[in-house]
């Protein structure tokens, strides 16, 4: 959902979430307040979070497996000195998609586009 490396230009994450308990408003609150505990609580114990960025191309995405690893991932992201703003969020059934703009104090910016839902995406790796 958010940057994995400082100053990454664009990232896409495709997690498996417990989407029935996640609303766009709840996701926006958790992201914008940098609440790692709330973000990781949206994920099932066996969830996968896929990250596509300049270091992890679509042909070889980074896969963060399980809620414990996802919690560590969000703890790192939320501890960084940066702001997060969810610009748009749409949902249908058990799926969410949203865009997020992030900014570092030095002016560097990151754009995140994310899709989430029950078994939303299964990579071939």
Within a domain: 86: yes
Within a domain: 77: yes
Tens digits of residue pLDDT in 78-106: 999 999 999 999 988 778 899 999 999 99
Within a domain: 73: yes
Lowest mean pLDDT among 13-27, 69-83, 107-121: 13-27
How confident is residue 14, by pLDDT bands cut at 50, 70 and 90?
Answer: very low
Q: What is the mean pLDDT of residues 64-87?
A: 95
Within a domain: 76: yes
Domain of 15, in residue numbers: 10-117
Within a domain: 5: no
Domain CATH number, residue 56: 3.10.450.50
Residue 9: phi and psi, rounded to 5, are: -75, -45
Is the CB of residue 21 less than 8 Å from the CB of residue 118?
A: no
Question: pTM of the predicted model, to two decimals?
Answer: 0.76
Tokens of residue 10, six digits = 């664009």
Assign residue 34 a region: left if phi > 0, alpha if psi is -120 to 50, beta otherwise?
Answer: left
Question: Count of domains in the chain?
Answer: 1
Within a domain: 4: no
Tokens of residue 12, six digits = 């896409």
Within a domain: 3: no
Q: What is the DSSP letter of 90?
A: E
Position 11 scores a pLDDT of 46
- Rounded CA-CA distance 58/60 in Å is 5
Position 21 scores a pLDDT of 61
Within a domain: 46: yes
pLDDT at 125 over 60: no
């Amino acid at each position: 959902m958010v940057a994995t490396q400082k100053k990454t230009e664009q990232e896409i994450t495709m997690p498996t979430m417990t989407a029935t308990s996640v609303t766009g408003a709840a996701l926006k609150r958790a992201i914008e307040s940098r609440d790692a505990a709330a973000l990781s609580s949206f994920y099932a114990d066996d969830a996968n979070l896929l990250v596509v960025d300049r270091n992890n191309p679509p042909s070889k995405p980074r896969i963060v497996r399980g809620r414990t690893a996802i919690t560590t991932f969000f703890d790192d992201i939320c501890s960084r000195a940066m702001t997060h703003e969810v610009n748009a969020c749409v949902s249908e059934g058990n799926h969410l998609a949203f865009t997020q703009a992030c900014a570092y104090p030095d002016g560097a910016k990151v754009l995140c586009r994310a899709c989430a839902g029950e078994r939303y995406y299964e990579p071939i790796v």
